[in-house]
């Protein structure tokens, strides 16, 4: 009689099921493109079979020949040099030699960052002869390389940024197409109407900023980040710089698209020179230029505010909830409050109410806060959140 663990045999009318197995995975961290990356997996119990490894869900294993674990159930494999720089999610798969005796198993995904290979002065070999020397002047360059690589290799970020542009322009165009100005006294702010989509675009921008950190905490990749760059403030600064650049690009595209849509659609609805709109949404007009540029700055500050919040709370869901509360609960409270004094002050300190004052081009003196003062309020919010996020936990 076969008495091996999990032998699939009949003892009378009883069939013994295959024994379950578990597979763990360890990945060498802190690697640079061009280095070998070492993988080590342990199968428990030590069962006969083979182990293969997959990268980012590919059906083609990294190892062309499956590796047989040793007597302790340990299988190792060095990924040859040539693995592309960027984020990699590795999974180990155990295939038993006899599926009647043992079940197959897979490890949890292990995510690590393969940093781009550096050149020039920063590429001088370190004491181990392999890693670039951590020269002080190269630390931020390395951090910026890493953060840019992580952002651009995650396609969800690209789609979210494209979504920001499309959503912002679409809502602005919709408002411009449906708003009428039948007379010179209609009192509509053409710039603010066209830029209405900024209120929706800021939500998507906030999500991009939150995921820039929240995803790392949820996958455990943040340990790799801090292993390569132990200084928390430098990591945050690098993320802030990369996020600022991509937000400015997405924000500028959103705002310019919204302004163009307004220029095309509003004249058909009565926004003409006869009704007081001679230089309709011309960027040569000072107030219009301020509204457009201020909107881009506002979106960038919202991204930085969101980055600071998620770094502090370390949870994507919690951070998004806090950001949305800051943006949208303040205006609701201000609307509910009946006291004009408190209503005005709530609008002056609320990030969205204060920040979007920069879009106003008419009746500016009637605003609760001046256009650039409102942007300053959002900047203070962003600075406070980044300072909080950059403070190491107790």
- Within this chain, do residues 366 and 311 fall inside the same structural domain, yes or no? yes
Domain annotation covers residue 140: no
Lowest mean pLDDT segment, chosen from 117-126, 236-245, 345-354? 117-126
pLDDT at 136: 54
- Within this chain, do residues 223 and 312 fall inside the same structural domain, yes or no? yes
- Strand partners for 15: 10
Element (H, E) at 252: helix 232-265
For the chain, the domain total comes to 2
Report the predicted TM-score, pTM, of the whole model to 2 decimal places.
0.71
Token output for 296? 């881009």
The span from the CA of 165 to the CA of 198, in Å, is 9
Q: Containing domain of residue 302, as a range? A: 154-390
**pLDDT one-digit tens code per residue, 95-145:** 999 999 999 999 988 877 676 665 555 554 444 444 444 555 577 777 788
**pLDDT one-digit tens code per residue, 268-300:** 999 988 888 888 889 999 999 999 999 999 999
Domain annotation covers residue 145: no
- Within this chain, do residues 104 and 219 fall inside the same structural domain, yes or no? no
Domain annotation covers residue 349: yes
Omega cis (within 30) before 45: yes
Domain annotation covers residue 279: yes
Q: Quickly list DSSP for 167-208.
A: HHHHHHHHHHHH----STT----HHHHHTTTHHHHHHHHHHH
CA 241 to chain centre: 13
- Within this chain, do residues 37 and 175 fall inside the same structural domain, yes or no? no
Strand pairing category for 49-55 and 31-32: unpaired
- Within this chain, do residues 42 and 93 fall inside the same structural domain, yes or no? yes
Domain annotation covers residue 334: yes
Q: Name every residue whose Cβ is closer than 8 Å to that of residue 105 and which is 6 or more positions away in sequence.
A: 20, 21, 22, 23, 43, 93, 94
> Which of residues 117 and 348 earns the better pLDDT score?
348
Domain annotation covers residue 9: no
Q: Mean pLDDT over residues 220-232, rounded?
A: 71
- Within this chain, do residues 172 and 106 fall inside the same structural domain, yes or no? no
Residue 76's CATH number: 2.60.40.10
pLDDT at 30: 52
**pLDDT one-digit tens code per residue, 310-347:** 999 989 999 999 999 999 998 899 888 888 889 899 99
- Within this chain, do residues 279 and 190 fall inside the same structural domain, yes or no? yes
């Amino acid at each position: 009689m076969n008495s091996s663990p999990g032998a699939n045999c009949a003892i009378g009318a009883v069939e013994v099921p295959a024994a379950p197995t578990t597979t763990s995975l360890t990945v060498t961290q802190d690697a640079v493109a061009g280095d070998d990356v070492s993988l080590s997996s342990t199968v428990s119990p030590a069962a006969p079979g083979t182990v293969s490894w997959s990268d980012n869900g590919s059906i083609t294993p990294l190892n062309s020949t499956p590796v047989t674990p040793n007597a302790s159930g340990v299988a190792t494999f060095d990924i040859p040099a040539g693995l592309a720089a960027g984020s990699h999610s590795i999974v180990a798969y155990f295939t038993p030699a006899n599926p009647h005796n043992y079940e197959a198993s897979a490890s949890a995904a292990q995510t690590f960052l393969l940093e781009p290979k550096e050149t020039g002065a920063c590429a001088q070999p370190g004491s181990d002869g392999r890693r670039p020397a951590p020269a002080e002047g190269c630390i931020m360059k390395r951090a910026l390389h890493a953060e840019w690589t992580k952002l651009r290799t995650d396609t969800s970020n690209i789609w979210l940024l494209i979504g920001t542009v499309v959503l912002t322009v679409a809502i602005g165009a919709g408002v411009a197409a449906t708003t009428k100005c039948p007379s010179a006294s209609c009192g509509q702010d053409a710039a603010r109407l066209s830029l209405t989509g900024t209120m929706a675009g800021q939500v998507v921008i906030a999500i991009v900023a939150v995921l820039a950190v929240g995803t790392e905490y949820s996958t455990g990749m943040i340990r790799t980040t801090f292993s390569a760059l132990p200084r928390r403030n430098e990591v945050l600064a690098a993320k802030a710089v990369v996020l600022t650049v991509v937000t400015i690009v997405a924000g500028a595209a959103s705002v310019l698209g919204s302004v163009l849509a307004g220029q095309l659609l509003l004249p058909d609805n009565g926004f003409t020179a006869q009704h007081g709109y001679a230089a309709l949404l011309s960027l040569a007009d000072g107030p219009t230029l301020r509204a457009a540029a201020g909107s881009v700055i506002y979106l960038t500050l919202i991204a930085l505010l969101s980055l600071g919040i998620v770094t502090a709370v370390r949870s994507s869901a919690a951070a998004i909830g806090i950001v949305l509360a800051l943006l949208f609960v303040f205006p609701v409270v201000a609307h509910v409050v009946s006291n004009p004094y408190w209503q005005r002050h709530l609008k002056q300190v609320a990030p969205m109410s204060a920040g979007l004052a920069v879009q106003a081009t008419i009746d500016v003196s009637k605003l609760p806060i001046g256009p650039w003062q409102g942007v300053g309020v959002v900047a203070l919010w962003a600075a406070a959140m980044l300072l909080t996020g950059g403070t190491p936990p107790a």
